[in-house]
Structure 1
Amino acid sequence: MPEAARRTFLQNSLIAGFALAVKPVAASTIQTDSSGLLVGPVNIGEMPAYRAQPAQAAQALPTIIVIQEIFGVHEHIQDLCRRLARQGYLAIAPELYYRQGDPRQFSDTQLLIKELVSKVPDEQVLADLDQTAQWAAAQGGDPQRLAVTGFCWGGRITWLYAAHQPKVKASVAWYGQLTGQASSSNPLHPVDIAQKIKSPVLGLYAGKDQGISLESIEQMRKTLRLQTQYIVVYDDASHGFNADYRPSYHPAAAQDGWKMMLDWFKRFGI
């Protein structure tokens, strides 16, 4: 990404709105009220991020890192942060493509994947998530109560980060790719590192997902080694079932998955 374009992206980052590739948004789109919350863009070094937390916090807050979809930290991801803040969390969503470009400016999803997403190295992402966790701990987050959740592209990263960072107490991965062809940017996939994960992880997946096969889900299940690592499949749902702004939204699966996620975090002290 040219330096001038990168500076413009950093200056204009995290403006409210949806990525071009997902417009028009569906009537089912949820908008969470921010009253009583401290919300808005922050900088983690040079990296833009969106933060939401209760405005009045008497003590260190449990922290959830929210890992973006392929569309970046657009309005849906920001709204998920606000929903978590309403549950008492410090929710922080870093813009993990910021060195490579602005995903919200692509109007075609396949072009976005080819021209931007495929060029984002996993190693860079994991390091940026480490920096995000450090920032949260310095801004009133409790480093002993750190959790991660991610959606689609971020669901895959959630598995990888659970294996990478031992300080993560619990994770929830929403319909993230489990297997795939290795590349210079993505040398390993969740199934390759599953046995290295030493913390609880809940996977939420869709039975009608056209990009994530039931065979790959079963392969992942067989590779996981702890009783606190398992995968739930919503048989009637499709990929992106929690994305209320898209036609893929499946209210029953989304609501049940969200409840399961909150219960999961509470179960492990987050």
Structure 2
Amino acid sequence: MKTDKPSVTIPQEAFDWYDEYAHGDIDRRTFLTRVASLSVAGLSAGVIGSALIPDYAKAEQVSFNNPAIKATYEEFPSPEGHGTGGGYLVVPTEASAESLMPAVVVVHENRGLNPYIKDVARRLAMQGFVAFAPDALFPLGGYPGNDDDGRSMQRSLDREKIEHDFMAAAKWLSHFEKTSDKLGVVGFCFGGYISNLLAATLPDMIDAAVPFYGTPAKEELQAQVNGPLLLHFGENDKRVNATWPEYEKVLKANGADYTAHVYDKAQHGFHNDSTSRYSPKDAELAWQRTVDFFSTHLKAPISR
């Protein structure tokens, strides 16, 4: 994992406003106007805004040309969703019909399949998992190359159909010719919500779920969650953290197998290494815990 630290010290208010902007509660102009109101020595609104808005050139940790993996774009049927879904599949080159690998669905944030999420899929493949990252924006032609348009496109789609697309992706991956009978899911922000949702709607299929700063599924679905779950939260993520106490009560009532970690002073999105919300130490620890969790519950590659 990367260890370089953000070069800009950003006030907490700016992080909070960026979270509102990233989730569509305010527009870009309002976000930058608020940032301009801060009195921060030596930092302009442009400097702070640029530090927070993702720079995906920073996000590549594993090259798509790495010989240990093979990346392709695949489609899958989604009859209850948008009819057909698509995504980014990364397979360890040693995987085959004779040497099956456990699989993990990788779920993006609220703006489509951006370069950071593709890199996360490649990181998992380097750890011996078949990783598939569906793109909620596939029905509209896919991630447009920038987050503002991506957010608008994702908001324009029917939320229930998007959810069914991810359920269909999980089912498709579970039957992929190079995967074993073990399936996990990891997601970030919106993807954390989808991870909780799949744990609730596909409890007999999902063998391990890892929501990064994600809200729970609807209350009526939560009783179906058995785990195992590994949940990651940033201490300064007030919006998501407010949903955790009640969700934890349900998990305890279910007798669910879960572990939750709260990372001291970390922001929402602390794992995303393309923005100054990134916390290298916390991201590395959370990722190592995630890989270990998948290794434990999805087990090593099997042969037949």
Which of the pair has more CA radius of gyration?
2
Structure 2 length-normalised TM: 0.69
Q: Secondary structure at the match of 1:71?
A: coil
Residue aligning to 1:236: 265
Once the two structures are overlaid, the 10-residue window that deviates more, 156-165 or 203-212, is: 203-212
8 Å contact from structure 1 (residues 163, 194) kept in 2? yes
Residue aligning to 2:10: none
8 Å contact from structure 1 (residues 62, 145) kept in 2? yes
Change (3 A) 1:30 1:105: closer
Q: Do structure 1's residue 128 and structure 2's residue 137 form an aligned pair?
A: no
Residue aligning to 1:60: 100
Residue aligning to 1:203: 231
Residue aligning to 2:49: none
Distance 1:263 1:190 in 2: 28
The alpha carbon displacement at 1:154 in A equals: 0.6
8 Å contact from structure 1 (residues 156, 190) kept in 2? no
8 Å contact from structure 1 (residues 191, 219) kept in 2? no
Structure 1: gaps of 5 or more residues? 1-20, 179-188
Q: Do structure 1's residue 269 and structure 2's residue 298 form an aligned pair?
A: yes
The alpha carbon displacement at 1:26 in A equals: 7.0
Selected match of 1:212 from 230, 240, 246: 240
8 Å contact from structure 2 (residues 56, 115) kept in 1? no
8 Å contact from structure 1 (residues 47, 94) kept in 2? yes
Once the two structures are overlaid, the 10-residue window that deviates more, 92-101 or 78-87, is: 92-101
Distance 1:202 1:80 in 2: 17
Once the two structures are overlaid, the 10-residue window that deviates more, 32-41 or 253-262, is: 32-41
The alpha carbon displacement at 1:129 in A equals: 2.6
Q: Residue type matched to 1:157 in 2?
A: I
Residue aligning to 1:154: 191
The alpha carbon displacement at 1:190 in A equals: 4.7
8 Å contact from structure 1 (residues 61, 140) kept in 2? yes
Distance 1:107 1:128 in 2: 21
For residues 24-73 of structure 1, the C-alpha deviation after alignment (integer angstroms, 9 at most, x for no partner) is 4475x342132221113222254221011111224111000111111211
Change (3 A) 1:112 1:42: closer
Selected match of 1:47 from 63, 85, 91: 85
Structure 1 length-normalised TM: 0.77
Residue aligning to 1:10: none
Q: Secondary structure at the match of 1:116?
A: helix
8 Å contact from structure 2 (residues 226, 257) kept in 1? no
8 Å contact from structure 2 (residues 105, 184) kept in 1? yes
Residue aligning to 1:169: 207
For residues 179-237 of structure 1, the C-alpha deviation after alignment (integer angstroms, 9 at most, x for no partner) is xxxxxxxxxx4555322112311111111014323x32222212213351232111210
Change (3 A) 1:170 1:37: same
Q: Residue type matched to 2:99 in 1?
A: Q
| Matched positions, count | 234
Change (3 A) 1:175 1:190: farther
Change (3 A) 1:222 1:106: same
Distance 1:112 1:90 in 2: 26
Q: Secondary structure at the match of 2:109?
A: coil
Q: Secondary structure at the match of 1:104?
A: coil
Q: Do structure 1's residue 256 and structure 2's residue 294 form an aligned pair?
A: no
Change (3 A) 1:248 1:190: farther
Structure 2: gaps of 5 or more residues? 1-51, 78-83, 300-304
Q: Do structure 1's residue 86 and structure 2's residue 113 form an aligned pair?
A: no
Q: Residue type matched to 2:265 in 1?
A: D
> Alpha carbon RMSD of aligned pairs, Å?
2.4
